[in-house]
Structure 1
Amino acid sequence: MPSLDLLPTELLLMIIDCLDAERDINVLVRTNKLLYLRLNWHLYRHNARKGNGEVLLWAVNYARISTIRHLLAAGAKPRAVYSRLSIKAPLIHWVVHGMCGSGATRIMPLRRAAKRRSVPGTGSLAARNAVLRVLLQYGADINERDSNWYSILHHAAESGQETLFRLLVGYGADIHAKSFEGHSVLHSAANAGCTGIIRFLVNRGLDVNAYIGYGKPILHYAVRNRSTAMIHLLIRSGADPNARNSMDWTAIDTVIFGSSWPAKQRLTTLRALIDNGADINARNSRGETLLHRLAAMNDSFLLVPELISLRADIEAQCNQGWTVLQRAIAAGSLEMFHVLLENGVDVNSFRGRGETPMHTAVAFGDKPEFIEGLYEKGANLYAKDWQGRDALMRAHNRRQSDPDTGYVFTTLILDLRIREWNRVERLRNRELRRLRTADFKRAVWGLNGVPIHESDTGSEDS
């Protein structure tokens, strides 16, 4: 039987064309060294023409430079799009994805690459640099976008690799690229918490106050990453410390409402924001401060002492005239109520409609503890609102809408008034006793402290 080596190349190519599976072609090519040298290129050509591009993607991920060159020379598309994990990205993007792994944020360590029997240096920057050069040489576009309109710089910034990022910029990647939602490269760097890339972009004039499409400023990303260094960098570069997102939150609101951090870390981030100009008493469209919103949350009273230590205003009023104390009473937050009292809130302050916290406790409160707590801190039971009604009259009016609660409050206020009257009477009687004692002493001892009978005797002897 004649050897395959003796067959003309044309006949061997006809045999290859009749083989549909790459596995069969590979078996033929690897029959011996001579056939490998003659037909190996045709194996790459078959894969480039009829394959799904998986071999090229594999070669890019593992930095197999010779394989990439063979496939591209055989007709593989350098701008092909590949789908993985809901991502449709051009081939050149997989230089970053392969470097960082699927969904990973770090370069693959060389030890792990060695355990996987990859080519030495697969995860190194030099290997990826070589892949980039080959792809660009064969017509790949460094600024091509994926299905979400993210550029290769977005992915490099999210990986947190500053050296790789600078390499891509050197190849002409656009630092001003934005996604469909307006997500800039700077947003990606802030999301990854990479201060070096942020400094690199800021020095090149990128807008640190840019918003993405759904209304989130870059500073909020830094806050979410708990990076005080990034907060300092962005604000000193011109970022607005009081910028709001689409939910009308400032960066401070993001720390309080958008996280479940340990108290120490939250306080550190708050101090970093306030030290750089963030307003802890900033108001939303309804004129509410941070404390107003916390007062309506029954489980947030532990945050209030921290905020007060940072100069939060516990006497602030919203557009409707509600104070923080009145908001806590109306929300039924007894813990918040006690925290505010312990921190010296004014229990007799009048809000916009001329109502004191005692009026609010009677009209909107659901617990008698509010009334008792205010009374113990010196609240005036006889203060009148803008319609001339005191707390007892408000309690009587409440009996019409809520008979049970109104009756309890009416009884309680009457009891407190009696207690107040008795206290005043005791003070009055004590003062009367003091005055009577003083009058008696003056009558007995005289004005100069000398007994009257002695002064009279002395005058008679003379």
Structure 2
Amino acid sequence: MSLLQLPSELILYIAEFLLAERDINVLVQGNRQLYELLNPLLYRHNVQHRQSSALTWAAANGQLPTLEKLFDQGAQITTTLPESLEETKEPPSKQPAICQEQEPQIPDHPLVHAALHGHATVVKALLLRGAHPDWTDRRGSTLLMIAANKGHVAVVRELLQHGADPTRPDSLNATPITIAALRGHTTIVEALIEHLERYHTTVMSDTQNQAVVYAALSGHTTLVRFLLDRGVPVDTPGHVNSHTPLFYAVRRSDEALIRLLLERGANSLYIPSEGNKSPLAFAAGYCCNEIVGMLLDRCADLGTEGIKAMHAAVVRNNVWLVGRLIARGVDPASEDEHLHRPLVSWAADLGCLNIVRLLWRKGLMRRLVILTV
């Protein structure tokens, strides 16, 4: 007598003595009759003996039918946040954890895997079964951050609809909207702003303002324009080091973004804090003449920032910039803030002979010699 000729109850009884999930799976794949009879046993075995490990696989692969079968066999998911998430976090790094290139080291909660891989229907199913919408991974990134980082708009909307907190920061004060802005996901930024306007008006302004800083940091011109059109101040300082969007655009040598920000009134001379550089001073030291020229054209009075730019021009032996700065009224006899001597009196020491010749032609060398004697 073959196995298939046995009564179904007896086949089930025999199959329950199989200890390994793989052995049950081999039997299930024998034919359609065995599949229909033993497939529920396979899921029940996973729930009872493997801590419902298939839930993670189903969530990561968007297999909603598999998920439902596991629940039918008694699978359970954690529905409350741990009392102390700090115990599950890895040591902080220098940037938001979710922005690092490697995949996050995430725990086995199915909802985290579903959000990471963009399976909105699975996310919804898990949320409806009581999963917490603000679950975090081991590095403190919320589900909203994970979805925003990957650009999963549908997942973001599902989480917001079920009460996820878009203002909740990670250990470095990154939020879902700053993560989305950093990645240039305009649609997600729009969805988060819409939600903030409706439910979190008290933090709306600052959250939106930080988004433009992060968007500029990564060079997302379209997103920067969208935020500026919404009334975000063009010279919004970032929380990390107080630099403005223009500074980050200059640091990237992003001419299109620089032009947009200047057209909206960005200040080329803005100094975030003591010891930091303005966009103009930074550009003078590191950027091409075209970018420096764009910034100079928007400055009415250079003041001390002109002296800093002159210093950078001398260091780079940039004759063109020295000439432009002199034409704008920067005195080459001004003292360098660090060396406490006229800026160009040490041009020869640096081998900047072209700058010396320029000053000679302009009749400035005689005065400089007198000042340095």
Shorter-normalised TM range = 0.7 to 0.9
Change (3 A) 1:46 1:294: same
TM-score (normalised: structure 2): 0.74
- Per the alignment, in what secondary structure is the counterpart of residue 274 of structure 1? helix
CA contact (8 A) 1:222 1:231 kept: yes
1:369 aligns with 2:354: yes
Aligned residue in 2 for 1:162: 153
C-alpha separation in 1, matches of 2:51 and 2:242: 48
Deviation, structure 1 residue 88: 0.6
C-alpha separation in 2, matches of 1:191 and 1:276: 21
TM-score (normalised: structure 1): 0.62
Match of 1:290 among 276, 279, 282: 279
C-alpha separation in 1, matches of 2:288 and 2:123: 52
CA contact (8 A) 2:111 2:126 kept: yes
Structure 1: give runs of 5+ residues left out of the alignment: 101-127, 384-388, 395-462
Q: Deviations over 1:30-73 (max 9, x none)?
A: 55555544433221111122236553333334443332111122
Aligned residue in 1 for 2:117: 98
CA contact (8 A) 1:358 1:381 kept: no
Kindly provide the amino acid, as one letter, of the partner of residue 351 in structure 1: S
CA contact (8 A) 1:291 1:312 kept: no
Deviation, structure 1 residue 3: 4.6
- Per the alignment, in what secondary structure is the counterpart of residue 207 of structure 1? helix
Larger CA Rg, structure 1 vs 2: 1
- Per the alignment, in what secondary structure is the counterpart of residue 140 of structure 2? coil
Structure 2: give runs of 5+ residues left out of the alignment: 82-101
Aligned residue in 2 for 1:27: 26
Q: Deviations over 1:111-151 (max 9, x none)?
A: xxxxxxxxxxxxxxxxx43x344323443223222212222
Percent identical among aligned pairs is 23
- Per the alignment, in what secondary structure is the counterpart of residue 153 of structure 1? helix
CA contact (8 A) 2:52 2:70 kept: no
Aligned residue in 2 for 1:207: 204
C-alpha separation in 1, matches of 2:341 and 2:123: 72
Deviation, structure 1 residue 269: 1.0
Spell out the pairing of 1:46-125 with structure 2 (5 A cutoff): 46-51=45-50, 53-79=52-78, 85-89=103-107, 90-99=109-118
C-alpha separation in 2, matches of 1:5 and 1:139: 44
Match of 1:338 among 301, 317, 320: 320
Aligned residue in 2 for 1:317: 304
Match of 1:256 among 250, 264, 279: 250
CA contact (8 A) 1:5 1:34 kept: no
Change (3 A) 1:67 1:255: same
Q: Deviations over 1:136-192 (max 9, x none)?
A: 344322322221222222223223343442233223322233222222121122123
1:228 aligns with 2:221: yes
C-alpha separation in 2, matches of 1:137 and 1:327: 60
- Name the structure, 1 or 2, with higher relative contact order (CA <8 Å, separation 6+): 2
Aligned residue in 2 for 1:108: none
Kindly provide the amino acid, as one letter, of the partner of residue 316 in structure 1: G
Kindly provide the amino acid, as one letter, of the partner of residue 88 in structure 1: I
Spell out the pairing of 1:63-462 with structure 2 (5 A cutoff): 63-79=62-78, 85-89=103-107, 90-99=109-118, 128-129=120-121, 131-203=122-194, 204=197, 205=201, 206-210=203-207, 217-235=210-228, 236-239=230-233, 241-257=235-251, 259=252, 261=253, 266-283=254-271, 284-286=273-275, 289-297=278-286, 300-311=288-299, 313=301, 315-317=302-304, 322=307, 324-329=309-314, 331=315, 333-335=316-318, 337-342=319-324, 344-346=327-329, 348=331, 351=334, 359-363=342-346, 365-366=348-349, 367=351, 368-379=353-364, 381-382=366-367, 390-391=370-371, 394=373
